[in-house]
Structure 1
């Protein structure tokens, strides 16, 4: 490998554009060389400045033979592309969710071990100094005995979000799991962080009881509450929606016998409250591509977000996909406008569910029914 690694990008639209812009910036700074890009759609303009482009990702991998491949294509394509990249000698930065089943997760981990290639997963919050400090303090006993963890998320998405691609809003398409849903896609970062705080190891099995709902006419959930129980760990309560009228930044809260801590993981800030003392934390994060570049010659265990640390998350994904179908919320319980659909009172509901550690069906909400659990 050259001193400046070559990088290929699979997927340059949607979230892939964020990766493209970051890679172009690093290329101009001389920190890496963006050698090629693949996407099913041609670039709308000459953003690639003559770099190799192909509409076939597999063909680009064969042509580029890059040191690193960044994969931001849909989740159901991850396994084949990451496997092919590592077989060709590339290290991989794989967007979340990494794969859509435990069998695929274990297969990809075996390929990484055999080829001795790194596979970093795109849970960006794991590069945060604040996340790392909170995990350290929680495990050190500063909060006392950790009793439970909650994930609370309250965002708004319009109808276009669920038509952004042929797989959007689906659990599966033509029998292939695509795993689009509020908890395991947009709020996946919170779930992964909660598991790091609640589970004794990143590879333990989990038990999931989920209540899935949808306000939009889609197959999967846009609103969900779930109880996640990692083996040997403490329970996690998740309460999330994409149908809020008033958004706020998602957070993970740790409840301990001596105090509690809250982290707003998208903002790299946290508050720890123990015995009447409040400690505010703020920091920054290392980008996962930079972390991967810096550790190409080191053991994968030093990475911020290696594939091996995400197996329990994949277990949650698999359980949600295999769980009960999402239940429609009756139109008379919604606020429907040309801008989209919102659920009146959902902001208070997700906060209360997280604070009390209960599902939506225990909050007396008229649209929440225990039968969907």
Structure 2
């Protein structure tokens, strides 16, 4: 009988914002005896109210990540901090042989990603990249359907995301909606951060997630908000074997919807709603088949991997193609401001702030995923070179 080792001592870097989710997840695993939260790294310590749900002995707190790792003896760390800080914090952990769950995107530039992966490899630590959708049991199930020929010959992968974010979303942090701060790259655009899962999951379902799987990348980046980065964009990645992977996304939707990936075959299609672990198979000669799958938590998987019980689900090399997309977005021309007649402002309500809505965008992103085409190829007026404007 296998015995459970002592709970893994862990430090959380970034416990506010999305970090609250990680704090709750660590607490859940701590209740199961799998991990023990020994430290929290934040510029300003968490208050007693913010720590009220933390069971047992309160964790140490410090703004100095390295010193906190040293003083607590942590064996693992979760990094959920601003994008531009990921590489240096990951290397700080690697230098101390501390294993990692690193939030997506793993870095703001491909050079930083390569530097991080080299450091992780040299240190011999495990590094899990935080694409939670890769833990869905639907991913291997869909890939097996494709391998078995259930939808015929694979023709391409499409993905669509139509989310709603109000104006306050871009005021929540100094780096929100920025491409860079001074000379430091941030790349907080819709393709690279809020809907990065759409890009990465599409590449994962295509089984072409390594950097060397990418032959070319075409981007069309737009913004309705008064920000530096893009909020309404599409990208087409062509793989080395010619497979198109097209992703169309927005944060200015008319109605918020569940993001999804479509696997196109010549005899059918598979739709995967990756936040819901839901799969719909539609193919010639069969009725539609819908299934809902389980999911493995990435931190739990990291713990199991360190105990020798599981393969790591999201090692850095499986996000190399995604990082090629981040680099393409980073080096692309500045996102084009949409003309004023392409969007309107929805006034604030009791439950949400004022937000900008791009007219017809819900149908546009869906059509992009369905036809594997870019906005400009769909004939969207504002996506034509003569129609885009500057602030």
Q: Do these two structures clear the TM 0.5 threshold for a shared fold by scoring above it?
A: yes
Q: How far is the alpha carbon of 1:342 from its aligned partner?
A: 0.4
Matches within 5 A, 1:36-47: 36-46=39-49, 47=51
1:153 maps onto 2:161 in alignment: yes
Instruction: Pick which of 40-49 and 113-122 moved more.
Output: 40-49
Gaps of 5+ in 2: 348-353
Q: For 1:261-294, what per-residue CA distance to the aligned partner results, in whole angstroms no more than 9, with x for missing partners?
A: 1000000001111213222121110110000000
Question: Aligned residue for 2:282?
Answer: 273
Q: How far is the alpha carbon of 1:201 from its aligned partner?
A: 5.5
What is the distance in 2 between the residues matched to 1:128 and 1:51? 31
Q: Which of 59, 65, 69 in structure 1 is aligned with 2:73?
A: 65
Compute the RMSD of aligned alpha carbons.
1.9
Say whether the 8 Å CA contact 1:215–1:334 is kept in structure 2: yes
Question: Aligned residue for 1:340?
Answer: 355
What is the distance in 1 between the residues matched to 2:302 and 2:357? 39
Say whether the 8 Å CA contact 2:134–2:313 is kept in structure 1: yes
Question: Aligned residue for 2:84?
Answer: 76
Pair 200,248 (structure 1): closer, same or farther in 2 beyond 3 Å: closer
Say whether the 8 Å CA contact 1:38–1:54 is kept in structure 2: yes
Instruction: Pick which of 152-161 and 112-121 moved more.
Output: 112-121
Say whether the 8 Å CA contact 2:164–2:256 is kept in structure 1: yes
What is the distance in 1 between the residues matched to 2:292 and 2:168? 34
1:293 maps onto 2:285 in alignment: no
Question: Aligned residue for 1:31?
Answer: 34
Q: How far is the alpha carbon of 1:312 from its aligned partner?
A: 0.9
Say whether the 8 Å CA contact 1:210–1:227 is kept in structure 2: yes
What is the distance in 1 between the residues matched to 2:355 and 2:243? 37
What is the distance in 2 between the residues matched to 1:10 and 1:233? 40
Q: How far is the alpha carbon of 1:233 from its aligned partner?
A: 4.7
Question: Aligned residue for 1:143?
Answer: 151
Secondary structure at the counterpart of residue 85 of structure 1: helix
Say whether the 8 Å CA contact 2:107–2:113 is kept in structure 1: yes
Question: Aligned residue for 2:239?
Answer: 230
Q: How far is the alpha carbon of 1:328 from its aligned partner?
A: 0.7
Pair 170,329 (structure 1): closer, same or farther in 2 beyond 3 Å: same
What is the distance in 2 between the residues matched to 1:244 and 1:200? 29
Instruction: Pick which of 323-332 and 290-299 moved more.
Output: 290-299
Question: Aligned residue for 1:169?
Answer: 177
Q: For 1:57-84, what per-residue CA distance to the aligned partner results, in whole angstroms no more than 9, with x for missing partners?
A: 2332232231110000011111111111
| TM-score of the superposed pair, with normalisation by structure 1 | 0.94
1:240 maps onto 2:249 in alignment: yes
Matches within 5 A, 1:1-373: 3-46=6-49, 47=51, 50-200=58-208, 202-204=210-212, 205-277=214-286, 278-298=288-308, 302-338=311-347, 339-370=354-385
Say whether the 8 Å CA contact 1:211–1:226 is kept in structure 2: yes
Q: For 1:124-153, what per-residue CA distance to the aligned partner results, in whole angstroms no more than 9, with x for missing partners?
A: 011111122112222333222111110100
Secondary structure at the counterpart of residue 255 of structure 2: strand
What is the distance in 1 between the residues matched to 2:72 and 2:331? 37
Say whether the 8 Å CA contact 1:181–1:221 is kept in structure 2: yes
State how many pairs are aligned.
371
Say whether the 8 Å CA contact 1:127–1:304 is kept in structure 2: yes
Secondary structure at the counterpart of residue 246 of structure 1: coil
What is the distance in 1 between the residues matched to 2:99 and 2:128? 8
Q: For 1:144-167, what per-residue CA distance to the aligned partner results, in whole angstroms no more than 9, with x for missing partners?
A: 211111010000000111111111
| TM-score of the superposed pair, with normalisation by structure 2 | 0.90
What is the distance in 1 between the residues matched to 2:43 and 2:239? 38
Q: How far is the alpha carbon of 1:320 from its aligned partner?
A: 0.9
Say whether the 8 Å CA contact 2:178–2:188 is kept in structure 1: yes
What is the distance in 1 between the residues matched to 2:179 and 2:228? 7
What is the distance in 2 between the residues matched to 1:175 and 1:26? 39
Gaps of 5+ in 1: none
Q: For 1:2-49, what per-residue CA distance to the aligned partner results, in whole angstroms no more than 9, with x for missing partners?
A: 621101000001110000011122223322110000112321434056
Q: How far is the alpha carbon of 1:196 from its aligned partner?
A: 1.7
Question: Aligned residue for 2:351?
Answer: none
